[in-house]
Every structure is written in C-alpha cells, then in structure tokens.
Amino acid sequence: MALDYRTAFELAPIGLVLSSQRLIKDCNRQLLAMFGATREQLVGCSFAVLYPSSEEFERTGARIVASLDRNIAARGRYADERVMRRIGSGELFWCHVAGRALDPADPHAEG
C-alpha cells in the first residue's frame, strides 16, 4: 500500500497549515473546524483573517522573527499561546500555535 501523505495531512488530529509569506497555502480539516471556516475562506488568504486585529497580526509576526533571531538553537521552530478569531462568528479563543520555518534565516518564507 502506497503512503498517502494527503490523507495523513487531512486526518491529523491537530490543525495543520502550510504557508508562504504569511499566506495560507493549504490547511487540513481540523484547522477548518477549529476556525469555523471553509477551505475557500482560508486558502490563499493572509493569516491576518484569523487574528483579532491587524495590529495583533503584525505584532505576532514581529515577535516570531525576534524570537527566532534570539534563539538560534530553535532552528526555525517556535511555539506560543495566542488569541485567535473564528471566521464567521468572530468569536475569540486561546490557541496553542507551534510552527517551523523551512529556512530559519527567513521564517516567513515557507513552512
């Protein structure tokens, strides 16, 4: 039986997203459920749609870059808790976010 990475991605028990330059390139069903969104509402959009405000989106992006710059040993990995916003309802909720940049020197490039 061939390994089907798409099925593994879709059925993962946590929300997963692939991004480039803070744009959502792909996401799985769990992430869609978490944010109350459809694939059409997220894929191709900026992560800004998931934040309570554009200011919070900008602050978080700057914090991630600064964190990676301070912690070379992290090798492009980061994790934190932050308030996010559900699509449609606008409800705010706490979310644990962990990520990994494919290129630690350019954390927003792809990951």
For the segment 52-88, what is each residue's pLDDT rounded down to a tens digit?
A: 999 999 999 888 877 776 666 567 788 889 999 999 8
Q: What predicted TM-score, i.e. pTM, was given to this entire model? A: 0.85
- The DSSP element (H or E) to which 81 belongs, if any, is strand 77-85
- Write down the CATH superfamily of domain 17-100: PAS domain (3.30.450.20)
Q: Which residue ranges make up each domain of the chain?
A: 17-100
Distance separating alpha carbons of residues 92 and 50, to the nearest angstrom: 9
Instruction: Name the pairing type of β-strands 23-27 and 77-85.
Output: unpaired
CA nearest neighbour of 80 among 66, 22, 39, 105? 66
